[in-house]
């Protein structure tokens, strides 16, 4: 497969790269808002006034229209400079609607992330497991920072949080896959990334405690738990849940166990003689509910866009 002619980056500092010429262009504020709107708000063309109202909600209709025209002109200069035919990427219809040319040769990091995570979560996929994991890893690599860093518009904040949660879902899926595949050190790397974004997620802490112990890193396990205790106390005024305390106590006991204990049937190599408790079962249910909630919010957002365009 040939390299796409255009690569759009909206995570972190937004940029556009024309791969055939090597031209690398940062996207200014109007351009980044407009291209994000075109890529993230559904594949249908959008009416100019709706885009203007979304991007400049506090401006008068006349001012918003002027701002939209300026943004469109600047975006086309970036995506369709001299040598690239107008309409290659940005399509303006005869009735004034504006959209992105989805048939063009391009990639966008935000779309790569969405496609990769959802492909991994697709239970009906016939893709081999190792290929699904490789695809998910490549998708997660696209996330180089929050969406449109520095932008504070309401719709950007919503999309930023949605994509951040999607990234966390992908990280968590990869984290669990590596743990269940018996690769604790690899799993730990992904667990650390999760905790960088969500440092009080106790389900991740519990699995990390087990993984550290399984890989012989008991001191790191103890240190991780102490950090969690302090963060929960200082930020939320609470203590770790009973389920987390019990895992920590099991880790402490495992320090004196014989080496043969780590080869038990427990998926993380830590056992305290108990079957998985209700809290662990609830954790899995909550993870599923969180994923469903994000998907529902995404669907409702797209439905609102369709109703507005109607």
Based on the fold, state whether residues 125 and 80 are members of the same structural domain: no
CA dihedral of residues 244, 285, 178, 194 (deg, nearest 10)? -60
Q: Which pLDDT does position 261 carry in this prediction?
A: 40
Residue 57, C-beta contacts closer than 8 angstroms, at least 6 positions apart? 153, 154
Q: Which pLDDT does position 222 carry in this prediction?
A: 94
Q: Please report which helix (H) or strand (E) contains residue 268, including its range.
A: none
Q: Which pLDDT does position 141 carry in this prediction?
A: 96
Based on the fold, state whether residues 90 and 125 are members of the same structural domain: no
Query: What's the predicted TM-score (pTM) here?
Result: 0.79
Q: Which pLDDT does position 144 carry in this prediction?
A: 95
Place of tokens 């001299």: 82
Q: Which pLDDT does position 130 carry in this prediction?
A: 87
Instruction: Report how many domains make up the chain.
Output: 2
Based on the fold, state whether residues 120 and 251 are members of the same structural domain: yes
Task: For residue 168, give its domain range.
Answer: 110-280
pLDDT tens readout for residues 154-168:
999 999 999 999 999
> Is residue 65 in a domain?
yes
- Of 108, 133, 167, the residue at which a domain comes to its end is 108
CATH number at residue 97: 1.10.10.10
Answer whether 43's CB lies under 8 Å from 54's CB. Answer: no
Based on the fold, state whether residues 126 and 266 are members of the same structural domain: yes
Based on the fold, state whether residues 94 and 135 are members of the same structural domain: no
Q: Which pLDDT does position 126 carry in this prediction?
A: 78
Listed as ranges, residues in the chain with pLDDT below 70 are 1, 124, 256-310
Q: Which pLDDT does position 262 carry in this prediction?
A: 40
DSSP-derived 3-state class of residue 188? helix
CATH number at residue 197: 1.25.40.10
- Of 61, 88, 108, the residue at which a domain comes to its end is 108
* Sequence-separated contacts (24+) of 88-94 with Cβ below 8 Å: 89/6, 90/38, 91/45, 93/45
């Amino acid at each position: 497969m040939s390299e796409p002619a255009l690569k759009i980056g909206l995570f972190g500092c937004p940029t556009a790269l024309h791969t055939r010429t090597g031209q690398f262009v940062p996207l200014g504020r109007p351009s980044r808002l407009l291209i994000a709107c075109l890529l993230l708000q559904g594949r249908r063309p959008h009416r100019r006034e709706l885009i203007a109202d979304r991007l400049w909600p506090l401006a008068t209709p006349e001012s918003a229209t002027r701002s939209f025209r300026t943004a469109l002109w600047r975006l086309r200069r970036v995506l369709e400079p001299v040598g690239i035919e107008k309409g290659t990427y940005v399509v303006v219809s005869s009735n004034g609607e504006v959209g992105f040319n989805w048939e063009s040769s391009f990639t966008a990091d935000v779309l790569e992330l969405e496609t990769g995570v959802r492909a991994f979560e697709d239970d009906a996929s016939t893709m081999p497991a190792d290929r699904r994991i490789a695809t998910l890893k490549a998708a997660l690599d696209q996330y180089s920072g929050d969406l449109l860093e520095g932008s504070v518009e309401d719709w950007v904040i919503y999309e930023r949080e949605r994509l951040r949660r999607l990234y966390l879902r992908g990280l968590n899926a990869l984290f669990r896959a590596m743990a269940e595949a018996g690769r604790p050190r690899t799993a730990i790397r992904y667990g650390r990334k999760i905790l960088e974004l969500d440092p009080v997620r106790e389900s991740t802490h519990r699995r990390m405690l087990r993984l550290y112990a399984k890989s012989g890193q008991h001191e790191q396990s103890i240190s991780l738990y102490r950090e969690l205790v302090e963060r929960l106390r200082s930020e939320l005024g609470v203590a770790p849940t009973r389920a987390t305390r019990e895992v920590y106590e099991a880790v402490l006991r495992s320090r004196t166990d014989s080496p043969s204990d780590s080869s038990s049937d427990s998926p993380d190599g830590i056992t305290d003689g108990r079957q998985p408790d209700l809290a662990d079962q609830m954790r899995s249910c909550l993870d599923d509910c969180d994923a469903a909630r994000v998907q529902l919010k995404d669907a409702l957002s797209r439905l609102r866009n369709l109703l507005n365009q109607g």
